[in-house]
Amino acid sequence: MRALAILLAALIALPLAAQDSMPPAPYAYRQLDDPEQEAAAQELMETLRCLKCQSQSIADSDAPMAGDMRHQVRIRIAAGEEPGEIRRWLMDRYGDYVSYQPVMSATTWPLFAVPALLVGIAGLLFWRRFRRRA
Amino acid sequence: MNWRLWLPFLIFFGFLGLAAYQLSQPKDEFIKSTMVGKELPYFTLPPASLDRPGVDSRYFHAGGPKLLNIWASWCLPCIAEAPQLERLKEEGVEIVGVAIRDKPSDVMRFLAEHGNPYTRIGRDDLSEVQLGIGSSGVPETFVIDGEGIITYQHIGDIRPEHVPVLLEELRKAEG
């Protein structure tokens, strides 16, 4: 009986407030008036990683910090900044982690090299096999 | 039987073992700022409370090393680190606060309850300073040397064992 009461209490328990009570940033959920600029901002936001969540882009996340990042992206695009510059600005602060657009670097080059190598090996094997048959 | 027949299986199980091993390793959830070693970006923030001035990044260009504490009244670990900030203040460390997405009334209530170790507290409603210095959560604490260069980042709440580390980093930033 007591265990059941505790279980029931656990069901109605509210999580402790770990979120702020501030309204979202002006451009967190508001689109830019210029559809072309909004499209550029949207495209960029989908390739920027939310810092507070697991495997979500800032375009997909409702975390307040992701909203603040969308605000940054939109006001910078509206001010005429290039998407590439904004990505670089964030990567200067958070490293590769923040970008979903992989770049070739000292740590990531095997990701690009290994598939090319495997295709090469497969090609070589096929070639040798067919040559033998012929 | 040709031993080479087993080679693909060996490679496959090798991959399986590698994946299982990686899954069992705890994931490092800290995203380190790549701003350490660089200059504090320019910013100016209005006061977050009624009894402390706001923060201008130029303030860090004089008067020796300081701590820049990113916190918020709605953040629970910030309560846990309050006694450690108090101790650092007693050691003569100047602590400048940046309150993330916070209301002055909430800031005042938090400080009345948990102490106020700050000489200045800036109000960062849009996480602009947080993004500017590469911080990805609250609380985080940065050591800034007397010339405005970020020399160290502490991620998460300051536990008692971190106090000597921060004091040592501040001493190193001295010069």
pLDDT tens for each residue of A28-81: 999 999 999 999 999 999 999 999 887 899 999 999 999 999 999 999 999 999
For residue A59, the model assigns a pLDDT of 95
Residues B74, B77, B83, B86, CA torsion sign: negative
For residue A39, the model assigns a pLDDT of 96
What one-character DSSP code corresponds to residue B143? Answer: E
For residue B171, the model assigns a pLDDT of 96
Res B146 pLDDT > 50: yes
Distance CA B94, CA A94 (A): 26
Chain A neighbors of B134, CB-CB under 8 A: 92-94
Residue A85 pLDDT grade (very low, low, confident, very high; cuts 50, 70, 90): very high
CA B101 to chain centre: 16
- Contact at CB, B128 and A68, closer than 8 angstroms: yes
Q: Whole-number mean pLDDT of chain A?
A: 87
Res B89 pLDDT > 50: yes
Q: Whole-number mean pLDDT of chain B?
A: 94
User: Which chain A residue's Cα is nearest to B27?
Assistant: A54
Interval B80-90 mean pLDDT: 97
- Contact at CB, B103 and A51, closer than 8 angstroms: no
Distance CA B129, CA B144 (A): 14
Res B50 pLDDT > 80: yes
Closest-CA distance, B28 to chain A, in angstroms, reads 12
B90: nearest Cα among B162, B154, B167: B167
For residue B49, the model assigns a pLDDT of 94
Res B1 pLDDT > 90: no
For residue B77, the model assigns a pLDDT of 95
Burial class (CB in 10 A: 0-12, 13-18, 19+), B32: middle
Give the mutation candidate from A68, A73, A86 for the B interface (greatest B CB count, under 10 A).
A68
More confident position, A107 or A12: A107
Chain B neighbors of A93, CB-CB under 8 A: 33-35, 131-134
Interval B4-14 mean pLDDT: 91
For B109-130, the pLDDT digits (tens) are: 999 999 999 999 999 999 999 9
Rg value, chain B, Cα: 22
Domain ranges, ordered by start, for chain B: 31-174
Residue indicated by tokens 């102490």:
B115
Structural contact between residues B62 and B146, judged by C-beta atoms closer than 8 angstroms? yes
Instruction: Please provide residue A34's backbone torsions phi and psi, each rounded to the nearest 5 degrees.
Output: -80, 115
Those residues whose C-beta lies under 8 Å from the C-beta of residue A29, and which sit 6 or more positions away, are A67, A70
Closest-CA distance, A1 to chain B, in angstroms, reads 33
B19 in A contact zone (CB under 8 Å): no
Interval B90-117 mean pLDDT: 96
For residue B90, the model assigns a pLDDT of 97
Q: Which CATH class is domain B31-174?
A: alpha beta
Res A17 pLDDT > 80: no
Structural contact between residues B136 and B22, judged by C-beta atoms closer than 8 angstroms? no
* Amino acid (one-letter) located at A74: R
For residue A105, the model assigns a pLDDT of 83
- Contact at CB, A92 and B72, closer than 8 angstroms: no
For residue B27, the model assigns a pLDDT of 73
Structural contact between residues B138 and B113, judged by C-beta atoms closer than 8 angstroms? no
CA A34 to chain centre: 24
Those residues whose C-beta lies under 8 Å from the C-beta of residue B75, and which sit 6 or more positions away, are A18, B100, B138, B139
For residue A15, the model assigns a pLDDT of 42
As a whole-number percent, the residues of chain A with pLDDT over 90 amount to 66
Those residues whose C-beta lies under 8 Å from the C-beta of residue A97, and which sit 6 or more positions away, are A49, A51, B31
Helices (H), chain A: 2-12, 35-45, 64-78, 83-94, 109-133
Distance CA A112, CA A117 (A): 9
Residue B98 pLDDT grade (very low, low, confident, very high; cuts 50, 70, 90): very high
Residue indicated by tokens 């602009």:
B128
Res B153 pLDDT > 50: yes
Res A10 pLDDT > 60: no
